[in-house]
Amino acid sequence: MSDLTRAGVAETARLVADGEVSARGVVEQALGRIDERDRELNAFTAVLVDAAIAEADDRDAALARGGPVGPLHGVPIAIKDEIDVAGTVTTFGGLGNSSPMAEDAEVVRRLRAAGAVIVGKTTMPEFGAFPFTESVARGITRNPWNPAHTPGGSSGGTAVAVSAGMVPAGLGGDGGGSIRIPSASCGLFGLKPQRGRVTTAPQPHLWWALGTAGPLTRSVLDSALVYDVVRGNVEGDLFTAGGGEPFVDAVGREPGRLRVGWTTKPVTLGVRPDPVHVQAVRDTAALLSDLGHDVREVDPRYPDPTAAFVPQFLGGIRAEAELVEHYDRLERRTRETCRLGSWVTPRVLDFALAQTEKVSEKANRVFQDVDVLLTPTIAHRPPKVGRLDGVGTVTASLRSMPSIAYAALWNVAGNPAASVPCGTGADGLPVAVQLVGRTDDEATLFSLSAQLERARPWPLLARDA
């Protein structure tokens, strides 16, 4: 069998469906790459060798019977360790839980129903609190482009698994940039969907209005394929999204002439973007202009999201921490965060959710004049590992500011936002820009991102650079 390291979701599914490779062969290759690379990179908390091979055999048997084949048939996928996978412990990046889950989360059930094979759970900082994938329980996760640097977070393990070619795609979560930050740091395409686009079941919410789940992939098409499988709601979801166009269709069409506003102004005061990222935005703006779009610099007049974000962030961590089996096993910093968030009462959360609506209204005023907003994804270059070593909640939060300076606002506002690769810097690490769309308009982001991908292809794997 040929080496499938570079094969993405679409190509892998096609090869299996056409009988050119078996699902078992694909999964065994993925498990081999995990065994080869993960000792250095630390992307996985659990590798489901026997279960994945058995599931792949089931996929091959279904194909042999001539039954229906799903769009992800035989595709190995990794799952961030805050999402339930039956038979595994949902660790949230720590040691607070010890009992395996009885059932899959709804998004995992949908992946399996589409033919995907779940190969493992990926590392994250405890409860996804900070944008560096480091924890006492799991150690340091390293960037495959340069292991001395962080892959970002909190979906850092998923990003590493995809960027290093261990799997074609993985699920992450984004409560303040946690899909986009590691995607930017590892050279991947990562889109945070519209609030309510993807169900949170069995959880009623992910940090109330802030969080959502979604894939990290090496191509725009692969992201759309996975999203079209996992999108949609179930009874009990707090939020729902509008718009029904399949994202795969959006990838396949030209975006038309769009009004694109660009800015390098960060939302967070006191943060200065790295010149590499400023130049990336300017270069992307020039490219979009060459592609026929109406491109102009804008001042988004960002609202301050603090009063909406902080209570939901602290309250979300407290809510998750209160549900673990062994609170005393949580990291000292996590327990400190819970104490610092003791003021977040139900009344405070109601206030924060009301502020969320106000922030969203103000943030979306920029879309009265443009269709898409172009910004940096992160302000700094991916820093060296060890950002969380020995520090408390306040210091960790301050060190996180450059990572979330452009991202977290759109969790509060609820808008879709994507990190799009645009090459590498002189330091050899990836560079990315962020595209933010109108409410419920992931389709435009998929179409425009695909156009950028064609005009300015990016490396598929870290080792391609």
C-alpha 413/C-alpha 311 separation (Å) is 15
C-alpha 56/C-alpha 61 separation (Å) is 9
Q: State whether the Cα torsion 460-445-436-288 is positive or negative.
A: positive
Beta strands at 169-174 and 189-192: parallel, antiparallel or unpaired: unpaired
Phi first, then psi, for residue 215 (nearest 5°) are -85, 155
Q: Which of 178, 183, 360, 449 is catalytic?
A: 178
In a domain? residue 1:
no
Q: Which of 22, 135, 154, 163 is catalytic?
A: 154
Per residue of the chain (465 residues), what is the pLDDT tens digit? 678 889 999 999 999 999 999 999 999 999 999 999 999 999 999 999 999 999 999 999 999 999 889 999 999 999 999 999 999 999 999 999 999 999 999 999 999 999 999 999 999 999 999 999 999 999 999 999 999 999 999 999 999 999 999 999 999 999 999 999 999 999 999 999 999 999 999 998 899 999 999 999 999 999 999 999 999 999 989 999 998 899 999 999 999 999 999 999 999 989 999 999 999 999 999 999 999 999 999 999 999 999 999 999 999 999 999 999 999 999 999 999 999 999 999 999 999 999 999 999 999 999 999 999 999 999 999 999 999 999 999 999 999 999 999 999 999 999 999 999 999 999 999 999 999 999 999 999 999 999 999 999 998 888 765
In a domain? residue 317:
yes
Residue with tokens 């994250």: 124
Is 449 one of the annotated active-site residues of the chain?
A: no
In a domain? residue 221:
yes
Q: CA dist 192 to 66, 283, 413, Å? A: 36, 23, 12
In a domain? residue 345:
yes
User: What residues are paired with 135 via a beta bridge?
Assistant: 139
SS3 call for 213: strand
In a domain? residue 4:
no
Question: What torsion do the CA atoms of 463, 44, 185, 371 make, to the nearest 10 degrees?
Answer: 110
Structural domain that includes position 237: 9-464
**H or E segment to which residue 275 belongs:** helix 275-290
In a domain? residue 3:
no
Q: Which of 22, 80, 185, 219 is catalytic?
A: 80
Is 178 one of the annotated active-site residues of the chain?
A: yes
pLDDT for 296 equals 98
**H or E segment to which residue 119 belongs:** strand 117-122
Residue pair 332/298 in contact (Cβ under 8 Å)? The answer is no
Query: Is pTM beyond 0.95 here?
Result: yes
Task: Give residue 206's Cα distance to chain centre.
Answer: 14
- Rounded to 5°, the CA angle 183-356-327 comes to 70
Average pLDDT, whole number, for the chain? Answer: 96
N-term to C-term CA, the chain: 25
In a domain? residue 2:
no
Count the domains in the chain: 1
pLDDT for 102 equals 98
C-alpha 312/C-alpha 217 separation (Å) is 28
Q: Give the CATH number, domain containing residue 143.
A: 3.90.1300.10
Task: Give residue 401's Cα distance to chain centre.
Answer: 18
C-alpha 447/C-alpha 444 separation (Å) is 5
In a domain? residue 128:
yes
